[in-house]
């Protein structure tokens, strides 16, 4: 199996889905001739033709609206939004149409579409190119929200998202696009949605994360292991619907939990996870839950970007506070 990057895994999954199913279309700004701003759709136009790889106007609401119409008529559109800072116009179509189509038609129609977009900071881009808006989409009933954290999970989860009968928002961590390589078998096998992945087993504390911060959390777990602390690392992957049972099972084993995410802390998905642990797993807790997250501010530019993003040092500090609690 070749070792590929996360963005190459996205490209591989798109090509596999299109080869397996003639109803799968790719559309968005510059996805065809230019192959996408991050090259995620590179080569697809040449392979599948202009009727299945569509360059669109610079109009995100139109891209989402076209996708809703295509999905309602039997296609499986995969729409690319160039940066998550430009994704907000799609909320109109996603909240008012895509997420409601199944209930609006009493099951007669579904909306099998995917909106995928680079997400998050860490690449020294301007503020509108560094957003982490996952909580906005997770709040919309009827949407799935998926965030991969490795090439293999990007491949398998994107295939699952494309094959799902309902709309999925697929946010790809920009700083992981080319951060590492991993063996990925182009076997067409999807990974399960709505389920956490245990990346590392442990007994002393549960570290819950997703997306780009998985890298820092795993590094923190390595540091803790050298100190004799056994940390279990949970990659949530599907933020909506959330695999609450998977998180609770881990917390029941360890008794302690730190939640790490890049988006602003207030009303983030981490708050929802903490609430569910408090509601259903309170008796398992030996210490208060802590969250390590982005700050409640617009992503600062360049020099301060690394101060905004959760770091290994911030994660370790939170873990040590939780472990020290008596």
Which residues are known catalytic residues? Answer: 129
- Bridge-based pairing of strands 144-146 and 197-200 is unpaired
Backbone torsion region of residue 156, taken as left when φ is above 0, otherwise alpha when ψ lies between -120 and 50, otherwise beta? alpha
Per the CB < 8 A criterion, the answer to whether 13 and 154 are in contact is yes
Angle subtended at Cα 171 by Cα 143 and Cα 67, rounded to the nearest 5 degrees: 55
Q: How many CA atoms lie within 13 A of 228 on its CB side?
A: 0
Q: Which residues of 257-287 are buried (b: 16+ CB within 10 A; e: fewer)?
A: bbbbbbbbbeebbbbbbbebbeeebeebbeb
User: Residue 53: CB partners within 8 Å, gap ≥ 6?
Assistant: 25, 26, 27, 31, 32, 41, 44, 45
C-alpha 185, offset from chain centre: 21
Parallel/antiparallel/unpaired status of strands 182-183 and 238-240? unpaired
| HSE (side-chain half, CA atoms, 13 Å) at 179 | 17
Strand partners, 208: 234, 259
The CA-CA-CA angle for residues 28, 32, 38, to 5°, reads 75
Neighbour-count burial of 165, counting CB atoms closer than 10 A to its CB (0-12 exposed, 13-18 middle, 19+ buried): exposed
User: What letter would DSSP give residue 311?
Assistant: -
């Amino acid at each position: 199996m070749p070792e590929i990057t996360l963005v190459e895994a996205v490209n591989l999954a798109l090509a596999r889905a299109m080869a397996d199913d003639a109803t799968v279309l790719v559309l968005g700004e510059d996805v065809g001739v230019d192959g996408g701003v991050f090259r995620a759709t590179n080569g697809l136009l040449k392979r599948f033709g202009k009727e299945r790889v569509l360059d669109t106007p610079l109009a995100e609401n139109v891209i989402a609206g076209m996708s809703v119409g295509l999905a309602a008529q039997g296609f499986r559109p995969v729409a690319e939004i160039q940066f998550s800072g430009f994704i907000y116009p799609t909320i109109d179509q996603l909240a008012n149409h895509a997420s409601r189509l199944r209930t609006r038609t009493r099951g007669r129609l579904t909306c099998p579409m995917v909106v995928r977009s680079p997400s998050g900071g860490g690449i020294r881009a301007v503020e509108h190119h560094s957003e982490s808006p996952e909580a906005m989409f997770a709040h919309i009933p009827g949407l799935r929200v998926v965030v991969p954290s490795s090439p293999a999970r990007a491949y398998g989860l994107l295939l699952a998202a494309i094959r799902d009968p309902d709309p999925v928002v697929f946010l790809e961590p920009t700083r992981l696009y080319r951060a590492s390589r991993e063996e990925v078998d182009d076997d067409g096998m999807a990974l399960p949605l709505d389920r956490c992945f245990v990346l590392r087993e442990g007994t002393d504390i549960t570290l819950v994360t997703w997306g780009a911060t998985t890298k820092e959390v795993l590094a923190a777990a390595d540091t803790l292991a050298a100190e004799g602390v056994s940390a279990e690392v949970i990659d949530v992957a599907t933020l909506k619907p959330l695999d609450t049972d998977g998180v609770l099972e881990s917390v029941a084993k360890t008794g302690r939990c730190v939640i790490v995410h890049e988006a602003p802390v207030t009303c983030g998905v981490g708050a929802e996870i903490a609430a569910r642990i408090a509601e259903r797993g309170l008796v398992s807790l030996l210490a208060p839950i802590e969250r390590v997250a982005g700050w409640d501010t617009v992503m600062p530019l360049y020099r301060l970007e690394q101060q905004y993003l959760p770091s290994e040092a911030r994660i370790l500090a939170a873990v040590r506070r939780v472990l020290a609690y008596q």
